[in-house]
């Protein structure tokens, strides 16, 4: 008689990923490792054997959201591991904030801690005996749609901006070896990624910490340096007909060298440059990187070199000590610089940030009022730039196209990063044979604008 072999059910892990794209890449690494070891994921807290919450600790709203999520996971499941930026924060008296608020969590780690998280998982939910490693796709597990992906090139930050606590949570800059980054990018392109979004805390500083060490990729030496990285990623992307987009680029002089690569089609003529302010005194109080640079001149030189360039930036209104004159300097800057996509936060004190001790804090209502004034100026500059596109034909990467786009769809041009910028609303194609497919490019003629978005006719 043959004895039936029972395969024990794989343990199930619930996973919640909160926070920025850098936290998302940490989540992807943990999920990939869990899957590699044979764990399954559960869509509900109650259906899981254990829950991991990847938290964000950047601003007070994010802290609240993270603490609430941990509370829900504890109520519904009871067995919770916490990781991410909030896990690194201390509360009153100097002990761990998460443990103070939720003493029953099984383990707490900071960000970028796949090994520690896995050690906690092994301790509380021993791994299955026979992992089906072959079931893992070579590109790992992605939380983004199949056609775009974030790639993290470094961890941490060596600056000490006075409003930011990221360095205290994530440590100083540690660049990933260039060979590893290029090999991950290669796997992503092979898996069908059509847009690669380069992220880090300080993309311009890539390789500084390891003196731009020479690494290897595809049997050839290549320096751990932004220029070499972008050129190599671009050449790789071109083979797959994919876009490469750069985020968190500080306006250091050496970024000038990246602009010609845009003209060669090696990366998108798009830069996400978090400027935060324009006035030199405010930038000095913020201790911003590149605060001594002449940013207006730099932006206009970049635009001369590459007229297609789109610049996204974020700003802070009402930073401690900001005078009306300093704020007006910022308003003039944003109008003159023609920032295509501008975001603005009213300054909000983050627990543990050095800026909290600065003199002359701006009252909360005034901070909010300045934010609103800023957005009015920024939006009119940005709408005016958007309108210039009417009549142009652009390549659009399709994100959404039910029924093969017969009734239209949604996509993005090179000027729109996912989640943070506008979109291109695609009208139903006029030609009966024309279809739209998610993850493919279509040419489209821009026929109008709607707020931050464009309306286009696929051709
Ligand atoms: S550059 Fe400044 S704001 Fe950005 S992560 Fe570093 S310290 Fe924080």
Tokens of 162: 């006075």
**C-alpha to C-alpha distance for 80 and 71, rounded to whole angstroms:** 9
Rounded to the nearest angstrom, the distance between the alpha carbon of 229 and the centre of ligand 1 is 21
**C-alpha to C-alpha distance for 198 and 243, rounded to whole angstroms:** 11
**C-alpha to C-alpha distance for 377 and 303, rounded to whole angstroms:** 21
CA-based end-to-end distance of the chain? 67
Q: Which atom of ligand 1 is nearest to the CA of 164?
A: 8
**C-alpha to C-alpha distance for 341 and 312, rounded to whole angstroms:** 4
Write down the residue that tokens 């286009």 correspond to. Answer: 456
Rounded to the nearest angstrom, the distance between the alpha carbon of 167 and the centre of ligand 1 is 7
Q: Residue of the nearest CA to atom 5 in ligand 1?
A: 201
The whole-number pLDDT of residue 414 equals 98
Kindly tell me the sign of the dihedral angle through the C-alpha atoms of 386, 387, 388, 391.
positive
Which helix (DSSP H) or strand (DSSP E) does residue 74 occupy?
A: helix 60-76
Those residues with Cβ within 8 angstroms of residue 455's Cβ, 6 or more apart along the chain or in another chain: 424, 425, 427, 446, 447, 448, 449
Tokens of 182: 């290029």
Candidate from 171, 202, 316 with most ligand 1 atoms within 8 A of CB, to mutate: 202
Residues 269, 144, 24: CA angle, nearest 5 degrees: 95
Those residues with Cβ within 8 angstroms of residue 205's Cβ, 6 or more apart along the chain or in another chain: 154, 158, 173, 250, 289
Rounded to the nearest angstrom, the distance between the alpha carbon of 157 and the centre of ligand 1 is 6
Kindly tell me the sign of the dihedral angle through the C-alpha atoms of 117, 119, 125, 129.
positive
**C-alpha to C-alpha distance for 85 and 92, rounded to whole angstroms:** 17
The whole-number pLDDT of residue 134 equals 44
**pTM score of the predicted model:** 0.77
Q: Residue of the nearest CA to atom 1 in ligand 1?
A: 159
Rounded to the nearest angstrom, the distance between the alpha carbon of 160 and the centre of ligand 1 is 6
Those residues with Cβ within 8 angstroms of residue 379's Cβ, 6 or more apart along the chain or in another chain: 342
**C-alpha to C-alpha distance for 125 and 143, rounded to whole angstroms:** 23
Candidate from 156, 174, 201, 283 with most ligand 1 atoms within 8 A of CB, to mutate: 201
**C-alpha to C-alpha distance for 91 and 70, rounded to whole angstroms:** 16
**C-alpha to C-alpha distance for 427 and 455, rounded to whole angstroms:** 7
Q: Which atom of ligand 1 is nearest to the CA of 288?
A: 2
The whole-number pLDDT of residue 20 equals 84
Say if residues 121 and 52 touch (Cβ distance below 8 Å): yes
Say if residues 389 and 450 touch (Cβ distance below 8 Å): no
Q: Which residues of the chain have pLDDT under 50?
A: 1-7, 129-134
In DSSP terms, 442 is beta-bridged to 396
Q: How far is CA 107 from the centre of its chain?
A: 26
Candidate from 19, 159, 169, 276 with most ligand 1 atoms within 8 A of CB, to mutate: 159
Q: Which atom of ligand 1 is nearest to the CA of 167?
A: 7
DSSP state of 20: S
**C-alpha to C-alpha distance for 417 and 117, rounded to whole angstroms:** 31
**C-alpha to C-alpha distance for 53 and 81, rounded to whole angstroms:** 6
The whole-number pLDDT of residue 434 equals 92
Q: Which atom of ligand 1 is nearest to the CA of 157?
A: 6
Q: Residue of the nearest CA to atom 8 in ligand 1?
A: 164
The whole-number pLDDT of residue 145 equals 84
Rounded to the nearest angstrom, the distance between the alpha carbon of 389 and the centre of ligand 1 is 33
Write down the residue that tokens 């139903």 correspond to. Answer: 428
The whole-number pLDDT of residue 3 equals 40
Pocket of ligand 1 (CB under 6 A): 157, 159-161, 164, 166-167, 201-202, 289
Those residues with Cβ within 8 angstroms of residue 119's Cβ, 6 or more apart along the chain or in another chain: none
Q: Residue of the nearest CA to atom 4 in ligand 1?
A: 201
Rounded to the nearest angstrom, the distance between the alpha carbon of 353 and the centre of ligand 1 is 11
Rounded to the nearest angstrom, the distance between the alpha carbon of 161 and the centre of ligand 1 is 5
């Amino acid at each position: 008689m043959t004895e039936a072999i029972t395969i024990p059910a794989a343990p199930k892990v619930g996973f919640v990923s909160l926070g920025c794209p850098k936290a998302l890449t940490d989540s992807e690494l943990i999920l990939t490792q869990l899957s590699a070891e044979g764990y399954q994921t559960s869509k509900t807290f109650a259906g899981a054997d254990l829950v991991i919450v990847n938290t964000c600790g950047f601003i007070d709203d994010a802290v609240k959201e993270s603490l609430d999520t941990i509370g829900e996971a504890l109520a519904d499941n009871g067995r919770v591991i916490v990781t991410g930026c909030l896990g690194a924060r201390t509360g009153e008296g100097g002990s761990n904030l998460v443990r103070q608020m939720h003493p029953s969590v099984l383990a707490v780690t900071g960000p970028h801690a796949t090994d520690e998280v896995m050690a906690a998982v092994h301790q509380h939910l021993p791994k299955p005996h026979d992992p089906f490693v072959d079931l893992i796709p070579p590109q790992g597990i992605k939380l983004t749609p199949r056609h775009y992906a974030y790639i993290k090139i470094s961890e941490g930050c060596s600056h000490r901006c006075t409003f930011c606590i990221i360095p205290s949570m994530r440590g100083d800059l540690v660049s990933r070896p260039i060979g590893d980054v290029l090999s991950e990018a290669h796997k992503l392109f092979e898996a069908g990624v059509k847009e690669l979004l380069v992220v880090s805390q300080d993309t311009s500083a890539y390789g500084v910490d390891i003196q731009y060490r020479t690494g290897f990729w595809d049997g050839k030496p290549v320096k751990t340096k932004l220029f070499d990285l972008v050129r190599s990623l671009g050449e790789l992307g071109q083979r797959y007909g994919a876009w490469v987009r750069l985020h968190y680029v500080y306006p250091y002089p050496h970024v000038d060298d990246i602009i010609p690569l845009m003209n060669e089609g090696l990366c998108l003529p798009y830069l996400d440059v978090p400027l935060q302010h324009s006035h030199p005194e405010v930038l000095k109080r913020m201790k911003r990187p590149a605060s001594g640079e002449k940013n207006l001149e730099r932006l206009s030189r970049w635009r001369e070199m590459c007229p297609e360039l789109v610049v996204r930036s974020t700003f802070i209104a009402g930073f401690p000590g900001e005078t009306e004159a300093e704020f007006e300097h910022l308003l003039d800057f944003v109008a003159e610089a023609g920032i295509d996509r501008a975001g603005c936060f009213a300054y909000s004190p983050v627990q543990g940030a050095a800026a909290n001790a600065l003199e002359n804090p701006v009252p909360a209502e005034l901070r909010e009022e300045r934010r609103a004034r800023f957005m009015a100026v920024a939006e009119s500059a940005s709408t005016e730039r958007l309108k210039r596109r009417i009549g142009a034909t652009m390549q659009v990467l399709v994100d959404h196209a039910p029924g093969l786009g017969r009734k239209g769809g949604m996509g993005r041009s090179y000027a729109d990063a996912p989640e943070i910028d506008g979109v291109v609303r695609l009208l139903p194609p006029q030609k009966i044979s024309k279809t739209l497919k998610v993850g493919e490019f279509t040419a489209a003629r821009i026929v109008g604008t709607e707020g931050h978005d464009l309306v286009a006719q696929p051709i």
